[in-house]
Amino acid sequence: MTDKSKIIHSDISTHLPVRTLDEVMADFAREKAELLEKLHAATKSADEYHRLKTTFIANVSHEMRTPLNAILGFSELSQFGDVTLDEMKEYMKIIHKSSEQLLDTVKDVIFISNLDADEIDTDENSISVRSLFQDLQEYYSYFGEEKFTRNIQLVFRQYDEDLVFTSDLEKISQIFRKLLDNAFKFTQKGSVEVGYQVPDEKTIRFYVKDTGIGIPSDKLDLIFEPFRCVDESHSRDFGGSGLGLSIVLRLVKLLGGKVQVDSELGKGTTMSFTINYKPVLNNDFYQ
């Protein structure tokens, strides 16, 4: 019995080095510091998430409450007020515009939720840049009074020869509308320019360039985070839930591309995105 105990003790002492109390306490202190650092990072992340959630709820509530108040107010005036036919038409126009604004906010929230859940698929189509730009031009011409002022010129830069490629037309149109809405929102005068380049045989680069307020260089990454804005007071001054550019970034990534921002404070911003260039012969497109 005594011999066996000696053998076991000998094996343990051979494989495990003897540690001093100071070494054990030093390891404990190091592990404690690492745990505290992780806890601090987790707490900071949780606080930031809570702040963003609070900001998002405030922004979305504002974006929904404002058109809802208009809808309720002017519909009540239409029913019970002593109004003329011209006034009634004006009220109906305001109600329609407010309804569209409310619907856009709801659609953005639902859409980004679907993106988070990976429930959005892509569908490849043959796309003509000329037709795409023409549709966008017609859309913003029709909604001109609501989307931008007379002081802003909308310009589409194209080449003489049409460019036809394969991608998801619906999502590219959605990307452009988000970028254009954003450009008009932060541009008081000057121009908004839309164009494209083909830097190589595998890439198309689309861009939206404005002469708006610009973005500070240290805030360029911030604008693509959900519910965020360069200055959160902008969401009150210019409107918006803070989801537009986040949706743009995710849609472009879904199409296998990248987003780039070049901006100078007070002089304007160029937002561009690249996607894979899959050419289609014009003859095939128009058949």
Distance CA 100, CA 67 (A): 9
Q: What is the CATH number of the domain that holds 200?
A: 3.30.565.10
172, containing H or E segment: helix 169-185
**115 & 130 share domain:** no
Average pLDDT over residues 186-211: 92
* pLDDT given at position 227: 60
**29 & 166 share domain:** no
**pLDDT band for position 115 (cuts 50, 70, 90):** confident
Q: 66 and 24 in contact (C-beta within 8 Å)? A: no
Task: Flag the least confident range among 5-9, 50-54, 117-121, 196-200.
Answer: 5-9
Which residues are paired to 194 by β-bridges? 156, 208
Question: With 80 as the cut, is the pLDDT of residue 143 above it?
Answer: no
Question: With 90 as the cut, is the pLDDT of residue 7 above it?
Answer: no
**254 & 267 share domain:** yes
- DSSP state, residue 119: -
Name the 3-class secondary structure at 106. helix
Distance CA 122, CA 171 (A): 8
Nearest to 182 by CA among 235, 219, 141, 129: 235
* pLDDT given at position 30: 83
Q: What is the pLDDT of residues 75-108, one digit of tens each?
A: 888 888 788 888 889 989 899 888 888 888 888 8
**44 & 107 share domain:** yes
Q: Which token pair is 183? A: 């450009």
**115 & 132 share domain:** no
In Å, how far are 20, 109, 228 from 57, measured between CA atoms?
A: 55, 11, 12
Q: What is the CATH number of the domain that holds 89?
A: 1.10.287.130
**113 & 129 share domain:** no
**pLDDT band for position 237 (cuts 50, 70, 90):** very low
- Average pLDDT of the chain? 80
**147 & 115 share domain:** no
**49 & 105 share domain:** yes
Which amino acid, one-letter code, is at 246? S
In the chain, how many domains are there? Answer: 2
* Structural domain that includes position 56: 1-120
Asked which of 80, 104, 120 is the last residue of a domain, the reply is 120
Q: What is the pLDDT of residues 244-282, one digit of tens each?
A: 898 999 999 999 999 999 998 888 999 999 998 888 865
Question: With 70 as the cut, is the pLDDT of residue 226 above it?
Answer: no
Nearest to 269 by CA among 213, 204, 217: 213
